[in-house]
A and B are shown apart, each in its own frame.
Chain A
Amino acid sequence: MLTLRLYFAQRLTAIIMAPLTLGHLVVMIYAVQDGLSVAEILARTRGSVTWFLFYGSFVLAVAVHAAIGLRVIISEWLGVRGVMLSFFSWAVLVLLLFLGGRAVWMVTLAGGLQ
């Protein structure tokens, strides 16, 4: 189920995400103090190219990583093979890219640059 190229993509996205995840953990632990609100989140992220690039690359990497990871799992545990397996992998990729990309766009650059 995992060919060399898929393996390479899986490890490459993992290496990209390691520092991004650490950063995300720090942001979470910092931001969760005194509770969260929409105003607080937007104040931090709105109009910020830095947060757009940070979370934009995170979404790209995680969409690829999750699509390949779930591909392996459904083939090994549910016995899905062939065309169905490829269809499922691409569907996961597209879904996560769409939802993730939309979310990042909305909390960062949707209202224009600052």
Chain B
Amino acid sequence: MVDTETFLDVSIWRDQGGDGHFETYQVPRLANQTILDVVSWVQQHIDPTLSYRFACRVGMCGSCAMMVNGEPRWTCRTHVKKVVVEDCLEIAPLRNLPVIKDLVVDMDPFFDKWVAANAVFEPSRTRDDPMAPITPDDPMRIVADGAIECINCAVCYAACDVVAANPEYLGPAALNRSWSLVNDSRDAGQAQRLHAVSAGGGCHNCHSQQSCAKFCPNELNPTLSISGLKRATLKSLLRWDR
């Protein structure tokens, strides 16, 4: 059902380099409309200079996350009717990341922290070795299962108050990835990884506010992963083998 009689009052953050402010647009309300549809409508019908990111539109690529009414969301899979308040929407760039223009943020700090957390696979074999067998019922594999399927959308990073308060903090996504690798028996970089997540901005700064788990669109639980890292690093400290 298309109801062209009603309009949404949409406030969108406009920023061309330091002059950030909200601008309000009237957008016709449609059935089954997503937040990304609303942003695209503004760009296509009102102001073609509006900048924003998207690619897949089906919740796979993780490029369209924005703050919607103060909450970080994947906009392509967020229906207007789920988040709209009295026909008003406030759409802003992701929190905790520098704005490049309008709704586009610089993701570099986010991914730099993945590298800083050693959240990258370190192979223990070469292509000439046989494949390492890992069965689906392997206990480590089951733990790792809970931490995969991250789409790198930075929703958790934007939701986290520790990231906001401590610029060094690696953040939920990078630490979650580190935890999945700690449970990868093929990985050869465990000692360096535990060291990397134990520094000034490491996993021990997490206050378990669990906003990451609340907002993760893929229903992952970075707080659970981070508590796993806390245990793993503590074990390694008490064995004095670091």
Contacts and interface: CB of A to CB of B under 8 A. Distances in A.
Given A75-B166, A76-B166, A77-B165, A3 B199 contact: yes
Contacts of A75: 165-166
B170 to A, nearest CB: 12
Chain B interface size band reads 10 to 19
A77 B8 CA distance: 37
Interface string A1-35: 11111111001000000000000000000000000
B241 to A, nearest CB: 13
Contacts of B200: 1-3
Contacts of B199: 3
A3 B233 CA distance: 11
Interface residues of A, number: 13
Contact of A4 (B165, B166, B198): B198
Contacts of A7: 204, 230, 234
A4 B234 CA distance: 7
B237 interface: yes
B205 interface: yes
Contacts, number: 34
A6 B237 CA distance: 12
B166 A1 contact: yes
A6 B202 CA distance: 12
A4 B205 contact: no
Interface in B158-197: 162, 165-166, 168
A83 B200 CA distance: 14
Contacts of B166: 1, 75-76
A4 B237 contact: yes
Contact of B165 (A6, A8, A11, A76): A76
Nearest to A12: B234
Which of B168, B198, B199, B205: most chain A CB closer than 10 A? B205
Contacts of A8: 234, 237
A4 B162 contact: no
A75 B230 CA distance: 21
A5 B237 CA distance: 8
Interface in B199-218: 199-200, 202, 204-205
Which of A2, A5, A72, A76: most chain B CB closer than 10 A? A2
A95 to B, nearest CB: 25
Contact of A6 (B162, B168, B204, B234): B204
B190 to A, nearest CB: 15
Contact of A1 (B198, B205, B230, B234): B205
A6 B205 CA distance: 10
Given A1-B200, A7-B204, 7 more contacts: A2-B200, A2-B204, A4-B233, A4-B237, A7-B230, A8-B234, A76-B166
11 contacts: A2-B205, A4-B204, A4-B233, A4-B234, A5-B237, A6-B204, A8-B234, A11-B234, A75-B166, A76-B165, A77-B165
